[in-house]
Amino acid sequence: MPRFSIIIPCQNAEATLKATLDALRAQTCKSWEAICVDGGSTDATRALVVAAAASDSRISLATNPGKSPGEARNFGAARLARGEIVAFCDADDIWVKTKLASLDKAMADPDVDGAYARVAFFRNQADRVGETSRIAKGPLGIEQLLGENPVYTMSNIAMRRELFIETGGFNPRITQSGDLEWLIRLCGEGANVIGIDEVLVWYRTNPTGRAYDLNALRAGRNNVLTSARRYGAQPNARADAQHLRYLAHRALRLDSPGFSAFRLSVAGIVLSPAAFLFPLRRGSATALAALAAPAIPRPLRRMLFCRKFFKPDFSNDTYCSIQLGLRAWFQGFGNDAVRPVGRSCTEIDGQRDRHRRSLRLSSCRDVSPIAATWAYKTCIPAATHLWSCHAEPVPSFCRMQRAHA
């Protein structure tokens, strides 16, 4: 019998599922089974799982008797799973190879009912991580879930199978924020869910998904509050302010109308200035960016906040000007630590050829002072928010591609 049963709801996931399954095969803990519960895919998802199962007997395919991902998780965990511990993984997320080993160590304590860890967010490549989540202090509770949910995604939670069955699983009648509503019930019943202070999940951001749908997030909030009240929990000003900060951050990333993030931020600051603005690197940065957003031209706003609409082009003069100017502002023109990782970029200088693609920049001293000054004066509020969204000392999107020989 395997130690872990991994439930993977999937539907039309052929583009990402292979990477998810490859990450499972790479786990240092080998005692697991993966149950892919298909929700009626019309692409090659089922064929991909069948091929994976042929080469690895730990992988199997099932069909979702319901319609939603929550029903797929219920079916896989309650009906098909054989492991002592159930873990969920979405078909487009990737696990760090030590995830199961870390969970195994944490849940060796019989008093621990479940565990989660930190999450790193990426768009296309898991080795290019932007921001990361944080874990709560102490066991997970309803208060944290009502504020800024530290679990963030179902790919980041594991619990004992018997406990999952006792909670009744996910409510199939709740289509928005059903995962968070289940977490509320889990903690409300007294489960001891602890945080592991290391990144164990790479979460693929998808601007078209429900996690980025502001209307869906607002509607789901009502379901979550209803469940919380059953356990005597009421959202306070601090939790509401943190939730509004979360929505403001999403509004910026979605390229919502400039005043959307502005209104959300003002409402959050009025409710609880301390809860919204701190920690400074996240809260104040989000506030500055949201307050400045209405005054920033939309193309520049897309460039700074929303990767859905703007694909970085390092041969683009304006983009290089902005990114290198921001880099100069963050760490200073004379700091050698600001040296670009790669080498291919057009130098921004009106007196030089716009199409010189292989200029080698040794440091930010080589950036046109005019271009850097323009970026400095134009983007300070937005740059602060960008800095908060990237965990690396030098933001990864500032890396240049190598020049071709």
Distance CA 147, CA 149 (A): 6
Inter-residue contact 35 to 60 (CB < 8 Å): yes
**Which candidate, 36, 9, 116, 70, places its Cα nearest to that of 220?**
70
Give pLDDT tens digits for 329-386: 444 433 433 333 333 334 434 433 443 333 333 333 333 444 444 444 444 444 444 4
Q: Is the pLDDT of residue 209 over 60?
A: no
Look at residue 333 and give its three-state secondary structure: coil
The mean pLDDT value for 228-245 works out to 92
pLDDT at 49 over 50: yes
Q: Which CATH architecture has domain 4-227?
A: Alpha-Beta Complex (3.90)
User: Which of the residue ranges 59-63, 112-116, 179-183, 316-320 would you say has the lowest mean pLDDT?
Assistant: 316-320
Name residues whose C-beta falls within 8 Å of residue 124's C-beta, 6 or more positions apart in sequence.
none
Query: To the nearest whole percent, how much of the chain has pLDDT over 70?
Result: 72
Spatial distance between the Cα atoms of 378 and 361, rounded to a whole number of angstroms: 23
User: Rounded mean pLDDT of 1-26?
Assistant: 97
Q: Give the integer Cα–Cα distance in Å for 24 and 189.
A: 31
Which token pair is 107?
A: 């849940």
pLDDT score for 307 = 53
User: 171: which residues sit within 8 A by CB, 6+ positions away?
Assistant: 70, 178, 181, 182
H helices of 172-213, in order, are 178-188
* Backbone region of residue 177 per phi and psi (left: phi > 0; alpha: psi in -120 to 50; beta: other values): left
Looking at residue 360, its pLDDT comes to 35
CB atoms within 10 A of CB 131: 17
Q: Is pLDDT above 90 for 126? A: no
Question: Around Cβ 245, how many Cβ atoms within 10 Å?
Answer: 26
Beta strands in 52-111 (DSSP E): 59-63, 85-88, 94-95
For the chain, give every domain's residue range: 4-227, 236-305, 317-398
Q: Which of 160-164, 236-240, 400-404 has the highest mean pLDDT?
A: 160-164
pTM comes to 0.73
Whole-angstrom Cα distance, residue 167 to residue 114? 13
